[in-house]
Chain A
Amino acid sequence: MAKELKNTICQVTDLRMGFSPRNQFNEEGWSFSINAGDLIALIGPNGSGKTTLLRSLMGESTLLSGKVYVAQQSHSVQEWKTREIANIFSYLPQEQPFEPSQRVDGFVGLAYVSCNGVLGKITEEQAELLENQLRLFDLEKQREKTLGSLSTGERQRVFLARVMLQPSKIVLLDEPTNHLDPEALARFWNALSLFKGDKTVVVSTHDIPFAKKMSDGVLALRAGRLLFCGPTSDFFQRGLINDLFPSLAT
């Protein structure tokens, strides 16, 4: 089958998150895999564990059990060094801290710290890619402005430009569309779909219509349970969305 010919980039087995057996997030272990190059929508009600899952995919959350194998590495992501993490992952948290006086181009350029190192400088080739990225995210006019002087939506575009520019294989985005107006929302999803096939993107989101239209796969969480993991079309055909958000059912 064509589906199985796709490369798996992330294989999760028996994942149980939490600090101690008494204080565990999900009782039954989660197992799923993610195909390389897919755009995955991570959906679920508030508090269903989207952020915790994203953070355990990059080896940040404390795990009670389970392994996360990424990109054909022989050891689980929890045991990775910072260097290895930086080669594979880029991440945009729900609330991105930033220095208000930092300039847009400088901020986006920080993406290359991941491969050049702290002491490195941006190469000519990278500078060109940076230019393209600013153009792609419609930030050319804002490049010399400071982050503090931008509107929330513009700033979100800057954050996204940074995280997508980073030469990583897997991009983890935590509710990146929270502050966007409908226009910006559409542009955001269009921009994301441009990276399909190139990067694997896991995006936690509440934009169900866009997730339905744009994503390749769905990871659905509810109250500490992994409700569904598979192709987007299956998820919506089986009407599982109504289990997650009953008020959406019509």
Chain B
Amino acid sequence: MRTRRNYFFVLLLLSLVLLTPFLGAERLSLSDLNKFDSLSYRIFWELRFPRWLLTLGVGGMLAVLGATYQNLFRNPLSEPYVLGVSSAVTLGVVLGEFFFRQPTDSWGSLLCGMILALLLILFLTWFASSRWGSSSEKVILFGLGCNFVLSSILFLVLSFQFQSVGGGAMRWFFGFIPWVETQKAIVFLLGGVGFTIGIGIFSQALEALRLGDSVARTLGVSPQLTRNLFLLFTSVGVAVTVSVSGTIGFVGLVIPHLCRMIFKPSSFRILLPQAFLLGASFLVLCDGLSRALVPPFEFPVGVMTTLIGGPLFLVVLWRRN
């Protein structure tokens, strides 16, 4: 019974995901899709298809990162967005543009974002290992505080920028899927899959770490080393993802819990691909909705994920009790 319902759910999701590239301000004629140089062809293959691929990658990455953070920080609420790591990346990218004139899609801006993310992670881990950070709740609250401060600084910088550059900058605040070439989108998607496999290979270390540092040691997993390696690896993941899409909230928080609720994975290793796929589908659907709801106006996908993710989170909380 349960499995049949799950099959139905997956099938529904899959067909919706496949349908979303057809949503949008411009109505496409299906017969023109394979006609080179027709308007429909160009809109579909040059605009919507690469965006669809990129959205899949971003959504999958966000969900996998969320699931990893939840194990790493031993708290169901931890996620790059909640802990302020996403904000740190965004601030780094925007500051890089502001001070060093690095275009926001360059390696230089990615580096700026990564440096700020690593600094925040260092700060968080220092706090977690100090005597004030004795419980994981305190670490979350501390990260939340960092998030608020970083967001305000970001807002400050952006409001300066509004006067000089104008427009566009707000997308960093809410998250937005940019247009990229198809090759780049494919590279990002494959990178996301590789990242997930990488985490999956070492997932038992993460599961051992979840049992506390002392127990992890008796399982042969050196807690400090393992945690630092995972933090470094995931920081790179967060930096790459957020420097593409800005801060998109709630995907990393809700999707892993939703996966556990629906699919009941037997281990973290099995949760990871499920989270990737559900996160990818979720973000693609949100992106489709943000385009289709009031065409030709498009609102940032981050607004959509929060609008849908917030209530979903409440449902998950409700069901957990």
What is the interface of chain A, defined by CB distance below 8 A to chain B? 55, 58, 60, 82-83, 85-87, 89-93, 96-103, 105-106, 110-111, 113-115, 117-120, 144, 146, 148, 166, 168
Contact = CB atoms under 8 A, between A and B. Distances in A.
Given A103-B266, A105-B266, A98 B218 contact: no
B210 A82 contact: no
Nearest to A144: B266
A86 B211 contact: no
B210 A98 contact: yes
B215 interface: yes
A145 B30 CA distance: 48
Nearest to B267: A106
Interface string B219-238: 11110000000000000000
Interface-central residue, B202, B207, B211, by most chain A CB under 10 Å = B211
B204 interface: yes
A91 B218 contact: yes
B201 interface: yes
B184 interface: no
B212 A96 contact: yes
A98 B214 contact: no
Given A98-B210, A118-B204, A85 B267 contact: no
B217 interface: yes
10 contacts: A58-B214, A60-B214, A82-B221, A85-B220, A86-B217, A92-B215, A93-B215, A110-B207, A115-B220, A146-B264
A146 B207 CA distance: 14
B215 A82 contact: no
A82 B222 contact: yes
A117 B246 CA distance: 38
B74 interface: yes
Given A105-B266, A118-B208, 6 more contacts: A60-B217, A99-B71, A101-B260, A117-B220, A119-B204, A168-B218
Contacts of B222: 82
B120 interface: no
B220 A82 contact: yes
A13 to B, nearest CB: 23
Interface residues of B, number: 27
B93 interface: no
B205 interface: yes
Interface of B: 71, 74, 76, 201-202, 204-205, 207-208, 210-212, 214-215, 217-222, 260, 264-268, 320
A87 B222 CA distance: 13
Nearest to A168: B218
A93 B204 CA distance: 20
B214 A114 contact: no
A118 B264 contact: no
Interface centre among A87, A91, A100, A119 (most CB of B within 10 A): A91
B217 A82 contact: yes
B202 A118 contact: yes
Contacts of A93: 212, 214-215
A55 B212 contact: no
A135 B71 CA distance: 29
A85 B205 contact: no
Given A96-B212, A97-B74, A103 B217 contact: no
Nearest to A106: B267
Nearest to B266: A103
Contacts of A99: 71, 207, 210, 268
Contacts of B221: 82, 113, 118
Contacts of A82: 217, 220-222
Contacts of B266: 103, 105-106, 144
A87 B201 CA distance: 23
B212 A110 contact: no
Nearest to B70: A99
Nearest to B260: A101
A92 B215 CA distance: 7
Contacts of B207: 99, 102, 106, 110, 113
Given A99-B71, A105-B266, A91 B214 contact: yes
A115 B74 CA distance: 24
Contact of A98 (B211, B260, B265): B211
A114 B264 contact: no
A97 B71 CA distance: 11
Contacts of B74: 97
Contact of A102 (B201, B205, B215, B267): B267
B217 A118 contact: no
A103 B212 CA distance: 17
A88 to B, nearest CB: 9
Contacts of B265: 101
Nearest to A109: B267
B318 to A, nearest CB: 15
Contacts of A166: 218-219
Nearest to A89: B218
B31 to A, nearest CB: 48
A100 B320 CA distance: 10
Contacts of B260: 101
Contact of A113 (B201, B204, B214, B264): B204
